[in-house]
Chains A and B, each alone.
Chain A
Amino acid sequence: MDGYFGSYLVVALLAGLGVAVVGGAFTAGRLLRAQRPTPEKLITYECGVDPVGEGWAQSYVRYYVFAYLYVVFAVDAVFLFPWATVFAAPGYGAVTLVEMFVFLGIIAVGLLYAWKKGVLTWV
């Protein structure tokens, strides 16, 4: 279990174990439970009140901007990992630090703009 593939084999085994535990629990539940469905039991549970209308609603475009901000900052964060592994290595140092902060600074301008436009307030 060492080397590159070995280490990921552990990850794969653990993931498999996780799927097996959850899947096993559900299968066991399905096999063991009593099953006497009635139409009332099959409707969606909505805090004890009878559900009204469809389960689907068109959402506001402003939530899309939140999702979009999330994408931008996910891309942003992804570049922090390689940066974090090298910036302390000999030969990088201050210049690499500045490079990253230029990158972050430019995106921060976008955040500033979003804030001033009121995008970040939850209306």
Chain B
Amino acid sequence: MTPADVVFLFLGAVTLGSAVLVVTTRQLVHAALWLVVTFGALAASYLLLTAEFVAWVQVLIYVGAVVVLLLFGIMLTRAPIGRSEGLDSANRPVAIAVAAATAALLVTVVVAGFREAYVELGDPPAGTSGQMGASIFRTWVLPFEVLSLLLLAALIGAIVLSRREIQPPGESSDERPTERPTGPGRG
């Protein structure tokens, strides 16, 4: 085992442990904070696999933005601060069984699929932002541009669901529309 392997195993254990804490802790805010540890350890694993760009995206987007969103989500609800007992339901044993079965299946498949396969990590690394840029702007242009449409649609959706339109002073609210909506066939 190289030192990198040892660190990788360690990071794996941290990821697993903090992920278990995310779902078992009794405090909602702690769950969100443990998620930071999970995401961070994942980012470090990506770094170790020389997926440099993905690792920093993980830090910026997940550790940064998504956890902020999650905490805002918690603050929107009436979730209590501190311990809440209602987090567990009678489904807990079933959930544990499903989670264990899923994990067993995935581990089996990945182990069976890759067996002894060993990839020599290149130096210079294979996942720098330069290489990502080369493939995004050369090959994957269309999905990249469609992604901006996805972000736009999500933004519009979020605003529609959360924001009342403020009436401009000129448009009084008791003014009924005088014109019926028209279709093209209406002439």
Interface residues of A (CB under 8 A from B): 3-5, 8, 54-56, 58-59, 61-65, 67-72, 74-79, 81-87, 92, 96, 99-100, 102-104, 106-107, 109-110, 113-114, 117-119
B75 within 8 A of A: yes
- Residues of B159-186 at the interface with A, using a CB-CB cut-off of 8 Å, are 159, 162-163, 165-166
Q: Is the interface of A mostly helix, strand, loop or mixed?
A: helix
Pairs of residues from A and B, 8 with the lowest C-beta to C-beta distance, nearest first:
A82-B133, A86-B133, A106-B148, A110-B155, A71-B65, A82-B132, A56-B81, A74-B65
CB pair A102 B137 closer than 8 Å: no
**Cβ contact within 8 Å between B163 and A62:** yes
Contact indicator B72/A72 (Cβ below 8 Å): no
A54: chain B residues within 8 A (beta carbon): 81
B binding-site residues for A, Cβ under 8 Å: 4, 47, 50, 52-53, 56-57, 60-61, 64-66, 68-69, 72-73, 75-78, 80-81, 123-125, 128-130, 132-134, 136-137, 141, 144-145, 147-149, 151-152, 154-156, 158-159, 162-163, 165-166
A117 and B159 within 8 A (CB):
yes
Taking a contact as CB atoms closer than 8 A, the residue among A58, A67, A99 that contacts B144 in the complex is A99
Contacts of A119 in B (CB 8 A): 159, 163
Q: A71 vs B64: C-alpha distance in the bound complex, in angstroms? A: 9
CB-defined A-B contacts under 8 Å, sample of 20: A4-B125, A56-B80, A56-B81, A61-B162, A65-B163, A72-B154, A74-B61, A74-B64, A78-B57, A82-B130, A82-B136, A85-B128, A85-B133, A99-B144, A106-B149, A106-B152, A107-B148, A110-B151, A113-B155, A118-B163
**Number of CB contacts from chain A to chain B under 8 A:** 140
A92 touches B162 (CB 8 A): no
Checking B4, B47, B50, B69 against A67 with a beta-carbon cut-off of 8 angstroms, the contacting residue is B69
Q: What separation, in Å, do the CA atoms of A4 and B128 have in the docked complex?
A: 11
**Which residue of the partner chain, among A63, A85, A99, contacts B72 with CB atoms under 8 Å?**
A63
Asked if B163 and A68 make an inter-chain contact with CB atoms under 8 angstroms apart, the answer reads no
